[in-house]
Amino acid sequence: MNTTPNLPAYRHQRFYQGPVRAVIFDWAGTLVDFGSFAPTQVLIDAFAGFGISVSMAEARVPMGLAKWDHIQQLGLQAGVAQRWQERYGKPMADADVDALYAAFLPLQIERVAQYSGLIPGTLTVLAQLRERGIRIGSCSGYPRVVMNPLLVHAASQGLTVEHAVATDDLQAGGRPGPWMALANVIELGIGDVRACVKVDDTVPGIAEGLAAGMWTVGLSLSGNETGLTFAELEALPLSEQAKRRDAAAAKLAHAGAHYVIDSIAGLPAIIAAIELRMAHGDQP
């Protein structure tokens, strides 16, 4: 007697040659918050509450990680570690990270909406993806208590996604591991990770997409690597914009991004390029 259950017939394809099925977006610096200031400025303020000065450049180095991990890595940077040692007479310990995180979190919840205006082109691009039947997922280094008010604020501006994973939603953890991206694959019912594209402005976010087996697209100007508001960027001479674009793009490409573009506004052309490559047998 055949006792094999009637399961869906998912047959592994050696080469995936279909269309893009889903795009998994980061949030700050990708969909909202041009320049990614909500996480960085609040971290600076949290450290200031402990008598430790942190520069914006220092705060940006661990961007993309879960915020507890971000604080820990920030405290391990040579300059910050030295200032902590001088003030407290000992290296920063996990208990100190806990205390900083406890101070950071209510500030982040209070201010996330303040910084999270839509990045130009976001609504247009998402509408174009939906017209093509491409599913919209997302994930973030924000914990759930920050993600929830961010989702409400984004919706008030017309931005909604089908699924959003916060960094503390999963027992396995967050970036640079693949778990948040893969949680989107499961929730959206995508049968092949090679049909997915991860879009992010940070090195850990690119690593996340690569670990999940996805195509990855880095954002050079709208996110953490350039770290300017839209107005500040527009005010720069074109030569300086190009210099900053090149530096950010080089870092994201070195991290393994398959493509690097300025912002989400350039994504539709990249989706078309990825689909053309897959049609010819290329894989992420």
pLDDT in tens, 181-193: 999 999 999 999 9
Task: Tell me the residue range of the domain where 94 lies.
Answer: 39-112
End-to-end Cα distance, the chain:
42
pLDDT of the residue at 11: 56
Residues 67-82 have a mean pLDDT of 93
Distances (CA, A) of 149 to 139, 155, 166, 169, 255: 14, 10, 12, 15, 31
For residues 54 and 99, give the distance between their C-alpha atoms in angstroms, rounded to a whole number: 16
- Residue 15 binned pLDDT confidence (cut-offs 50, 70, 90): confident
Summarize the confidence of residues 200-208 as an average pLDDT. Answer: 97
The helix (run of H) or strand (run of E) holding residue 215 is: strand 215-219
Residue 257 lies in a domain: yes
Domain end marker among 86, 112, 138: 112
Is the domain of 235 the same as that of 123? yes
Read off the CATH number of the domain in which 269 is found: 3.40.50.1000
**Domain check: are 275 and 150 in the same one?**
yes
Catalytic residue, from 33, 67, 69, 200: name it: 67
- Active-site option among 26, 69, 201, 262: 26
Clarify whether residues 60 and 201 are in a common domain. no
- Positive or negative: CA dihedral 197, 202, 203, 208: negative
> Is 251 a catalytic site residue?
no
Q: Is residue 104 within 8 Å of 142, Cβ to Cβ?
A: no
pLDDT at 126 over 70: yes
Sheet with strand 196-200: strands edge to edge: 163-165, 135-139, 22-25, 196-200, 215-219, 259-261
Residues 167 and 105 in one domain: no
Average pLDDT of the segment spanning 186-213: 97
Regarding whether 258 and 137 lie in a shared domain, the answer is: yes
pLDDT at 3: 47
Give me the pLDDT at residue 5, please.
47
Find the CATH number of the domain harbouring 61: 1.10.150.240
Final residue of a domain: which of 62, 88, 112? Answer: 112
* Annotation says 201 is catalytic: no
The single residue listed with the structure tokens 């839209």 is 230
3 within a domain of the structure (yes/no): no
pLDDT at 1: 44
Predicted local confidence at residue 2, as pLDDT: 45
Q: Which of 66, 88, 112 is where one domain is finished?
A: 112
Are 130 and 266 found together in one domain?
Answer: yes
